[in-house]
Amino acid sequence: MFLFATEGPLITSTNTLVAFFCSFVAIVFVAGHLPFFRTLYRYLPPIVWIYLLPVVFTTAGLTPSSHELYDWCSGFLLPSALLLLTLSTDVKAIVRLGPMAAGMLLFGTAGIVVGGPIALAIFQPLLDENAWQGMGALSGSWIGGTSNMVAIKEGIKCPTDVLAPYIIVDSVVGYGWMSILIALGAFQERFDNAIGARREILDDLNRRMDQYEKENRTSLTLPSFCAMIGVAFAGGWACIELGKLIPEVGSILSHYTYGILLVVVIGLTCSLTPLRRLENEGASHVGYGGIYLLTATMGAGGDLKAVLDAPLLLVVGVVWIVVQIGFLLVGARLLRAPMFLFATGSMGNVGGVVSTPVVASAYRRALAPVGILMGVMGNLVGTPAGLLCAQLLQFVAIAYHGEAAG
């Protein structure tokens, strides 16, 4: 039985993995037509299962925790899918949503900056004197993504062996919180009603998107499908390659960040041209297909056994996230922001540009582009905000251990 295998994962071939994950995503959605799963999906939508079950597959030894397919999905499939999603954007409505969305993202950023030092202050007696360095590097990942983690690791001279266990915290706590946020999407109406959220823009956008779809939706044709694939892959590839030609600004603006920014710009520009008519035949659905496959490979990168490797650090990570939740709840109350922006404001920091559109689509399918933009904003503020968090963490460590922690 592969459940007890110790010689490596059962599936390692790229072709087999592609077939396996595509079939798995298809089965999840087909199951939604059965009465039992139709009821279950009201509370735990398909995206939750698409993300969580691959974690079980990897833990059980069926799929690998890392593979070139996973890298291809995040590096090439993601920008291609994002291009199709932004192609269908209602630009005017997104602009109206902008200030509130940016405000919630910054509340989430503040929660990470403050939450790290609070968690360290609570658990410092049980941690190594250099724990602040690992948490400082982790703050970069939790404000924008992995590239920021690497930048801050180098900036504060964090040894690799100190950082290693915090990578477990990043994946287990960060993606665990992502799964919870997706599941909470079923309760967003209750949350919005409880705080008196201003949902007018979101409701108006959904209404306009529904109306647009009813008035313009046509059957998918082969020429249009080929055009979608061509625009997605050629456009995504071109944006990523052009991003490599733009000089990096430290590590705040990396080549990959430039590439994603170009995807957003090109996609929004195309949404103002006749290319938006591709949405009439389902361009966003094709884009979501790519996002779902990416989500499955993201889940496969997790391993439940990692929970046993660093239990105390996992508790530290949970406390850290709880502080961010507190900041976001305050922000939602002050701004009267709907739960959609609570979720994407959190994930725009903790998950970055890869995870935020996934969470956004679980709440409001029409607003995946907002998730993309919030992920990009989180990446931009990640390094300076992460360095500030690292400095505060060092102050806490010095206060307990003295100058040896410096």
Give the C-alpha separation, 242 to 84, whole Å: 18
Residue 107 has pLDDT above 70, yes or no: yes
> Could you tell me which residues are beta bridge partners of residue 253?
249
Q: Which residues contact 122 (CB under 8 A, 6 or more apart)?
A: 316, 319
Determine which helix (DSSP H) or strand (DSSP E) holds 73, and give its type and residue range: none
pTM: 0.68
How many C-beta neighbours within 10 Å does residue 18 have? 15
Q: Quickly state the pLDDT bin for 251 (edges 50, 70, 90).
A: very low
Q: What percent of the chain has pLDDT over 90?
A: 23
Give the C-alpha separation, 39 to 45, whole Å: 10
Q: Which residues contact 211 (CB under 8 A, 6 or more apart)?
A: none
From 301, 295, 304, 305, select the one nearest 66 (Cα to Cα). Answer: 301
CATH 3.30.870 applies to domain 14-405: no
Residue 307 has pLDDT above 90, yes or no: no
DSSP state of 253: B
Q: Quick one: average pLDDT of 21-44?
A: 87
Give the C-alpha separation, 387 to 46, whole Å: 37
Q: Where are the domains of the chain?
A: 14-405
Average pLDDT, the chain: 82
Helix (H, G, I), strand (E, B) or coil at 393: helix
Q: Quick one: average pLDDT of 140-144?
A: 81
Residue 180 has pLDDT above 60, yes or no: yes
Residue 305 has pLDDT above 50, yes or no: yes
Higher pLDDT, 25 or 309: 25
From 186, 18, 176, 106, select the one nearest 382 (Cα to Cα). Answer: 106
Tokens for 138?
A: 């982790």
Give the C-alpha separation, 316 to 323, whole Å: 11
> Could you tell me which residues are beta bridge partners of residue 249?
253
Q: Quick one: average pLDDT of 54-66?
A: 87
Q: With contact defined as beta carbons under 8 Å apart, do 399 and 129 qualify? A: no
Q: Quick one: average pLDDT of 322-338?
A: 94
DSSP state of 10: S
